[in-house]
Chain A
């Protein structure tokens, strides 16, 4: 199994998770900024200095790569390794969510309430 190389990248920070998710399709920096805010439902807002640093780190770790240019903008996309890391993170989050469902009474009550309202 090729899991060993990816576990060193996990867990991802929330910001990194959304950046990788946004880059499943190729985008330039500002598009990632807007996308991340939208798909995180406003929980993640990336400032340009932070995003630039994240791109540098992710590129160095080969989780994203530059796939083109649009004028002065670099276009990035997630790499194969990046996808494996993303899936690894989602797997971890699924386990976290299941643990809440099984072990956190308040969560069970709330989800039961929501289901009865539907």
Chain B
């Protein structure tokens, strides 16, 4: 390993976790191994030998007192933690003999993860709705005010889209075994 650090910018929405996992595994096959996620959308890799890794992202709101034992459980099971960002925890597992490791072994707990993400987004939406009329204060309808309103509106559309995607994912999972 050269210990050289490579940074890549890529954006994944909250409902694109499987896409993100696949991309990180692809990077590993090219010799780029995730080292840290310093900012949302920014991935820091260590340059090294191509290797077969499975990456899995968990979503948790961990209390400080629970975090240690949570990470230790994953470590004991062979999952290496390689970063975290706003509730997302990045794990990887080295493949030696054709294993197909997962962090969720049943449908219910996997659905639980997406419900946690959904809850987070669902809380943001009414927050935005409440905030919208207040943006700009008593300034009226100046151009700055209009831009802020448009931005808030765009964020609400995005959140709604995300919520729909997650609900679809959850329903898909409910239908499978």
Contact = CB atoms under 8 A, between A and B. Distances in A.
Interface of A: 13, 15, 28-30, 33, 45-54, 69, 71-74
A49 B119 CA distance: 18
Q: Which of B70, B73, B109 has the most CB of A within 10 A?
A: B73
B103 interface: yes
Contacts of B71: 72
Nearest to A46: B105
B46 interface: no
Q: Which 5 A-B pairs have the closest CB atoms?
A: A30-B76, A47-B105, A49-B103, A50-B109, A72-B68
14 contacts: A28-B69, A29-B76, A30-B73, A33-B76, A33-B77, A47-B77, A47-B102, A47-B105, A48-B73, A48-B79, A50-B106, A53-B109, A72-B68, A72-B71
A48 B103 contact: yes
B112 to A, nearest CB: 6
B37 to A, nearest CB: 19
Interface string B111-126: 0110000000000000
A65 to B, nearest CB: 14
Contacts of A49: 58, 103-104, 109-110, 113
Interface of B: 58, 68-74, 76-77, 79, 101-106, 108-110, 112-113
Nearest to B76: A30
Nearest to B62: A52
Nearest to B107: A50
Nearest to A29: B73
A53 B103 CA distance: 11
Contact of B105 (A45, A71, A74): A45
A51 B110 CA distance: 11
A72 B72 contact: yes
Given A48-B79, A48-B103, A49-B104, A54 B72 contact: no
Given A72-B69, A72-B71, A74-B69, A50 B76 contact: no
Nearest to B60: A52
B73 A52 contact: yes
A105 B113 CA distance: 43
A75 to B, nearest CB: 9
Contacts of B101: 47
Contact of B73 (A13, A15, A51, A69): A51
Contacts of B108: 13
B73 A47 contact: no
